[in-house]
A and B are shown apart, each in its own frame.
Chain A
Amino acid sequence: MSVKSLRQTVQGLLPSLTPVRFVAEDGTPVAKPPVGYSEPSEEALREAYRRMVLGRRFDTQATALTKQGRLAVYPSSRGQEACQIGAVLALRPDDWLFPTYRDSVALVTRGIDPVEVLTLLRGDWHCGYDPAATRVAPQCTPLATQVLHATGMAEAQRRKGEDGVAMALIGDGATSEGDFHEALNFAAVLRAPVVFFVQNNKYAISVPLARQTAAPALAYKGIGYGVRSEQVDGNDLVAVLAVLTDAVAHARAGHGPVLVEAHTYRMDAHTNADDATRYRDAEEVERWGAADPLSRLETHLRARGVLTDADTAAAREEAEALAADLRTRMNADTTADPMELFDHVYADPTPQLLEQRAQLAAELAETALTQED
């Protein structure tokens, strides 16, 4: 390879020096719009705004339900809505999404019933929705493991001659896990149509990014594997949607995987069980509050005349209805059937599982009898 074409190859893989951004924190367009990306249509932006209002309200409602004891735990993504919504809106319904525990808002945006999204955290079962029908894998907790599954799914689509894409969501801390690196490498070697979308919210529970990596940005992890990479302002919905739409198109066209890092911030603690004051100060949180993705998009779209008072009122009303419905249904007590514990271990239960099932049935019958006495 000539030096010139080598340089071109390397530059084609490297991310832009600063995160791609269309809209500044105050809602005004940036002076120099990023090159190489087309701005999403006004229609798409209005829809994204509506989804962000819904997503934000879902998130605050889930946090409230947790405080009321209705959820075992809730990892909030407040502040990350531009990422969650941008990711889903960049995909076709027949593309696959591989989310983490953090990405409930993305799932709601995908159209999954919010109650089914919360089944895991409510403690009824490990996954409440149908992954095959929704093409959303179960929310993944073992960090970075899902990134390999997305790669495998993308590779399956490619081999079947289908043009579907898979997108893996992953946090900044999880990029230190081996599976993330193996997935980047496999995807590049196989040219699998997969998009790796890192939501760099600056913390892995309490551990700040500086303890996770010495790279100039996480997006630079792509070059070592030959994966095209980009970084984006994760609180600028316009930019997130533009960059991810481009990444998905690149993968779909058969040009191989793409790594996108979004710079964002987790406004709440890791989960309701975490005390974030032990590792970050209030000023930092306040500073990021000023970069809020929802108000930024609203200001921007209003200034452009794309969004009216009626639009924002309608979105807020829809969000309140979603929250009210969620409260009603989540406040209803559910009963989980203990007999189901044995149903899905294997296609057909082993003789031992049948014995244990009978044992549990007898135990429960006994308990029921004593309670009657």
Chain B
Amino acid sequence: MAETTKVTMAQALNTALRDALREDDRVLVFGEDVGPLGGVFRITDGLTRDFGEERCFDTPLAEAGIVGLAVGMAMGGFRPVVEMQFDAFAYPAFEQIASHVAKLRNRTRGRLTLPMVIRVPYAGGIGGVEHHCDSSEAYYAHTPGLKVVTPATAEDAYWLLRDSIADPDPVVFLEPKKLYWSREDTDLGRRGALPFGRAAVRREGRDATVVAYGPSVPVALAAAEAAAAEGIELEVVDLRTIVPFDDETVTASVRRTGRCLVVQEAQGFAGVGAEIAARVQERCFHSLAAPVLRVAGFDIPYPPPKLEHAHLPGVDRVLDAVDRLQFGDEPDTRHLLKGAVA
């Protein structure tokens, strides 16, 4: 048996980039400060030193330029892996992403394809000031033609990034910043059982299904731990890829448990969690003992560092929602409470 070692998500990502650069000459890494500095989060640490300027390089500071350049280079036979420095600073590239990255295969009936990866450090929980903590997954997930990936473990960070780089289609790879430094025991050389596109059941439980992805997975797991102490067994499903979405795993779990919560860090309105809740109701209605609930951030611009704790869904907010899953047969009357406008 291969040995496991302690690895952070940041190291796993760095190793994935190294292995991809080593195995495929077409792979290039570029973006802002990804060269000698190694990126502001050090995900590209040492790549320029070890693979040379030709394979990992700094570009001028312009996000549309970086993504647009990558489009042309992918058309020209390369496999660019570009870094957006932060979630909110990817917005200048949005036109390139929505109008070209996502659509080129479709526009040309598959004659031109764009195997490229746009890496985006995203979401909060690190005390970042404004414009550094957006959960922007819904914008990308709402754009047909993109695959949207977000790992929650170091092992997934490695394999999902390798798979994304090898994928024939463009991938927006969302890296939960707050998990960059989380450590786990793993052997990156050994591929896990799950293929790209399948969700993982991170914890089994019979009473309710908690669907989470990226930064919310550890929150869901911590809540499951706490709930277990109260005698409620939560099953935690980690999506891994938002697109493609694994209806099969989610549906099978909810049909088994009869209850479902969706946890996301992003603001709730029109978010990925809303889509999941709708899909679950459509597919599992007759198995459901309670409405599908969303646990999300509030519908506000991302708060300043001292207030992000109030915004981010933590264990308590998840457990509150678990309480509202009608285990005691009382209907959920929370919408009738003071302040409700319905």
Contact = CB atoms under 8 A, between A and B. Distances in A.
B65 A186 contact: yes
A149 B68 contact: yes
Contacts of B65: 148, 179, 182-183, 185-186
B72 A151 contact: yes
B60 A153 contact: no
B111 A179 contact: no
B147 interface: yes
A152 to B, nearest CB: 2
Contacts of B59: 186, 189
Nearest to A130: B111
Interface in B61-81: 62, 64-65, 67-78
Interface residues of A, number: 41
A35 interface: no
B245 to A, nearest CB: 7
Contact of B107 (A127, A133, A182): A127
A159 B168 CA distance: 21
Nearest to B106: A344
Contacts of B60: 182, 185-186, 189
Contact of A351 (B64, B108, B169, B244): B244
Nearest to B110: A344
Nearest to B98: A142
Interface SS majority for chain A: helix
B69 A179 contact: no
Interface in B277-319: none
A345 B108 contact: no
B54 to A, nearest CB: 7
B99 interface: yes
A154 B72 contact: yes
Nearest to A156: B76
A123 to B, nearest CB: 14
Contacts of A344: 105-106, 108-110
Given A347-B113, A350-B244, A152 B145 contact: no
A159 B78 contact: yes
Nearest to B197: A350
Contacts of A347: 105, 110, 113, 167-169
A126 B107 contact: yes
Contacts of A183: 65, 68
B189 interface: no
Given A131-B108, A149-B100, A344-B109, A182 B76 contact: no
B72 A153 contact: yes
A133 B112 CA distance: 10
Contact of A350 (B64, B67, B168, B245): B245
Given A159-B78, A352-B245, A182 B105 contact: no
B145 A166 contact: no
A178 B243 contact: no
Given A156-B77, A347-B168, A150 B105 contact: no
Nearest to B68: A148
A160 B76 contact: yes
B144 A142 contact: no
A183 B65 CA distance: 6
A340 B62 CA distance: 36
B96 interface: yes
Contacts of B72: 148-156, 166
Given A142-B99, A145-B99, A145-B100, A186 B108 contact: no
Contacts of A157: 76
A125 B169 CA distance: 20
Contacts of A147: 68
Nearest to A341: B106
Nearest to A134: B111
A311 interface: no
Contacts of A351: 244, 247-248
Contacts of B244: 350-352
A133 B145 CA distance: 23
A159 B193 CA distance: 37
Given A127-B107, A130-B111, A351-B247, A155 B73 contact: yes
A352 B250 CA distance: 14
A139 to B, nearest CB: 10
Contacts of B112: 131-132, 137-138
Contacts of B96: 145, 148, 179
B92 interface: yes
A325 interface: no
Given A127-B108, A149-B75, A182 B68 contact: yes
Contacts of B62: 178, 182, 185-186
Nearest to B63: A182
Interface string A352-366: 100000000000000
B147 A346 contact: yes
User: Which of B75, B243, B244 has the most chain A CB atoms closer than 10 A to its own CB?
Assistant: B75
B140 to A, nearest CB: 14
Contact of A346 (B78, B92, B105, B247): B105
A132 B69 CA distance: 18
B19 interface: no
Given A152-B73, A346-B147, A352 B64 contact: no
User: Which of B68, B112, B147, B244 has the most chain A CB atoms closer than 10 A to its own CB?
Assistant: B68
A274 interface: no
Contacts of A132: 111-112
B231 to A, nearest CB: 36
Q: What 8 A-B pairs are tightest by C-beta distance, nearest first? A: A152-B72, A156-B76, A148-B68, A182-B65, A149-B72, A126-B107, A347-B168, A153-B72
Interface of B: 54, 59-60, 62, 64-65, 67-78, 92, 95-96, 99-100, 103-113, 144-145, 147, 167-169, 197, 243-245, 247-248
Given A126-B108, A137-B112, 7 more contacts: A145-B64, A149-B72, A178-B62, A179-B96, A182-B60, A186-B60, A346-B169
12 contacts: A126-B103, A145-B95, A145-B96, A145-B100, A156-B75, A179-B96, A185-B60, A185-B62, A344-B108, A345-B105, A347-B167, A347-B168
Interface of A: 125-127, 130-133, 137-138, 142, 145, 147-157, 159-160, 166, 178-179, 182-183, 185-186, 189, 340, 343-347, 350-352
